[in-house]
């Protein structure tokens, strides 16, 4: 009897291994990072939060990880890290992006490095969650800003997103 129990366990183990592998691979492929480029047009608002529109492209849009376009509003801005005599400042900006197709909102944060002497801005960004289809959205990348006065600037984000 011991021999048949060992054989049965060995057969079960051999048959279970492919199923375990498929179960492990499934979630990994579902969470493959997708490339995204987001271009947003920022309108500065002296009487309230900055706002604007955005358009996204890349495999993240093609594979429905993120919507193609919508609007955004800045929900938090903090200036920090000012370096005297250098004209350099760090700015943290929280944003809420709302998709025009009704699929939900997602939350982003920018860490901007601005040089007032040169006008150059670069930033890193992260996305951590949202509402609707974007509750589990995550991602990160880099970006740069081009002045567009008046009324604001144009931000270009490049990076990756995943569910």
Calculate the dihedral angle through the C-alpha atoms of 21, 22, 25, 27, rounding to the nearest 10 degrees: -130
pLDDT at 101: 98
Claim to verify: residue 25 and residue 83 sit in the same structural domain: no
Domain that holds residue 6: 1-29
Q: How many domains does the chain have?
A: 2
Name the residue with higher pLDDT: 83 or 108.
108
Q: Tens of pLDDT along 83-105?
A: 666 778 899 999 999 999 999 99
Q: Are 142 and 113 in contact (CB under 8 A)?
A: no
pLDDT at 108: 98
Claim to verify: residue 12 and residue 87 sit in the same structural domain: no
Claim to verify: residue 46 and residue 98 sit in the same structural domain: yes
Name the residue with higher pLDDT: 79 or 106.
106
Q: Is the pTM of this model over 0.85?
A: no
Element (H, E) at 7: helix 2-30
Claim to verify: residue 73 and residue 134 sit in the same structural domain: yes
Claim to verify: residue 39 and residue 22 sit in the same structural domain: no
Domain at 108, CATH number:
2.40.480.10
Q: Is 142 helix (H, G, I), strand (E, B) or coil?
A: strand
Whether pLDDT at 4 is above 60: no
Claim to verify: residue 68 and residue 41 sit in the same structural domain: yes
Q: Tens of pLDDT along 7-66?
A: 444 444 434 434 443 344 444 445 799 999 999 999 999 898 999 999 999 999 999 999
């Amino acid at each position: 009897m011991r021999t048949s129990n060992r054989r049965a366990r060995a057969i079960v183990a051999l048959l279970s291994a492919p199923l375990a592998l498929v179960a492990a691979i499934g979630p990994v492929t579902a969470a493959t990072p997708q490339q995204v480029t987001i271009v947003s047009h920022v309108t500065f608002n002296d009487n309230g939060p900055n706002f604007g529109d955005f358009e996204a492209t890349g495999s993240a849009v093609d594979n429905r990880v993120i919507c193609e376009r919508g609007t955004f509003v800045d929900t938090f801005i903090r200036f920090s890290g000012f370096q005297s005599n250098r004209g350099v400042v760090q700015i943290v900006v929280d944003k809420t992006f709302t998709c025009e197709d009704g699929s939900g909102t997602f939350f982003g944060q920018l860490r901007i490095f601005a040089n007032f002497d040169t006008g150059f801005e670069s930033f890193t960004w992260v996305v951590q969650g949202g509402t609707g289809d974007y509750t589990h959205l995550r991602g990160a990348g880099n970006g740069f800003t081009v002045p567009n006065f008046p009324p604001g600037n144009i931000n270009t984000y490049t990076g990756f997103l995943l569910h």
